[in-house]
Structures are given as structure tokens and as C-alpha cells.
Amino acid sequence: MVRATGEPARLAPAVREELRRLDPNLPLYRVMSLQQAMDESGWNGRMAEVVAQNIAIIALLMALVGLYAVTAHAVHWWRPEIGLRIALGAQPRGVAWMVLRQALTRLAIGLVVGVACTYAFDRAFTVAADRTDPVRLTDTGALMFLMGSIAIVAVAACAIPVRRAIRVDPVVALRAE
């Protein structure tokens, strides 16, 4: 390392000549400022963070699509029951709540398992690390925000199956049975 003012590349020929004078076998390569070296050394960490974020987004989307698919499939199989309930006077609000309750139950189970896994992951991977790090996986505020966001998006994903359940024609549903 050489302390210099200005651009360190300007001093490279003089430093190279001095190194050759001291030890002709000592190479001098990749001349850069300390800031450039620090930026370059953090690149792997930044790329790992971007990859992890993208994997998390894909996993979230897959979970939401899965919840939508399971709810839509359940509505399809419950069509005769829903038709019978509507024929016997069930209100659309009650039918919607029946379908939404099933989806919310699945969502709650997923959130509980996810939070438990987050705490286990945090505990397993911060044992050897410095526990004074201000950014923790188990930050209560961040977990609550994330769970609330997932719940809102999951309820929105279930809107189409709920709408289909409300619009079931009792005559068509019972005739298909």
C-alpha cells in the first residue's frame, strides 16, 4: 500500500521502479485507490444480497399463486355445496366468508411456520456471529410488516375464487351433481 494524494495510477511507474530496485521478483498489479478496493471487495456480498432478495420474491409469488390455486380448486369442488347453501338462502357475505376463512386458515398456518423457521434460521446462523448487529432477521417490526403485507396480498389473491363462489348459480351447481 502506498499513501498518495490524487490519482494512485499516476504513481504506479515510480512505485514499480522502486519495487524492482528492492526486489526484482516482486510484482505490482491492479493499482487502485483504497475506495476502489473496498468497493470491489463488497461486490460479492451485494450480489449475494440481490440473489437472495430475488429468490425471496419468487418464493413469495409462488406461495401466493399456490394459495390462489388451492382456493380456486376448493371453490370448484365446493360448487354443489355452495349452490345448495345459496338455494337454501345463504347470503353472499356468508359464502364469501366460508371461502375466505379456509384461505385465511391456510395463510395463518403458513405464516406461523414461516415465522418459526425465521427464528430457527436466525438462531442457527447468528450463534457465531456478532449479536450486536443492528439488523436482525427477527426484528419484530419488520416481521409484522412483512406478515401484514403477505396477508393483504393473499386476501387479494383470493378475491377471484371468492367472487366465483358468490356467483354460483344454484340451479347449474345442483344440476351438475
pLDDT at 33 over 60: yes
Annotated domain spans of the chain = 61-176
Using CB atoms within 10 A of its CB, is residue 132 exposed (0-12), middle (13-18) or buried (19+)? exposed
Task: Give residue-wise pLDDT tens across range 112-157.
Answer: 998 999 888 887 776 555 555 555 667 888 889 889 988 888 888 8
Identify the pLDDT of residue 176.
Answer: 67
Give Cβ neighbours of residue 173 (< 8 Å, ≥ 6 apart): 79, 80, 82, 83, 84, 86
Alpha helices in the chain (DSSP H): 8-22, 34-41, 43-87, 92-125, 140-157, 159-166, 170-176
Identify the pLDDT of residue 125.
Answer: 72
Cell digits for 17? 521502479
Task: Give residue-wise pLDDT tens across range 42-101.
Answer: 777 778 888 988 998 898 889 888 888 888 898 888 888 888 888 888 898 998 999 899
Identify the pLDDT of residue 127.
Answer: 59
Identify the pLDDT of residue 146.
Answer: 87
Task: Give residue-wise pLDDT tens across range 17-31.
Answer: 888 888 888 777 777
Interatomic CA distance for residues 92 and 167, integer angstroms: 8
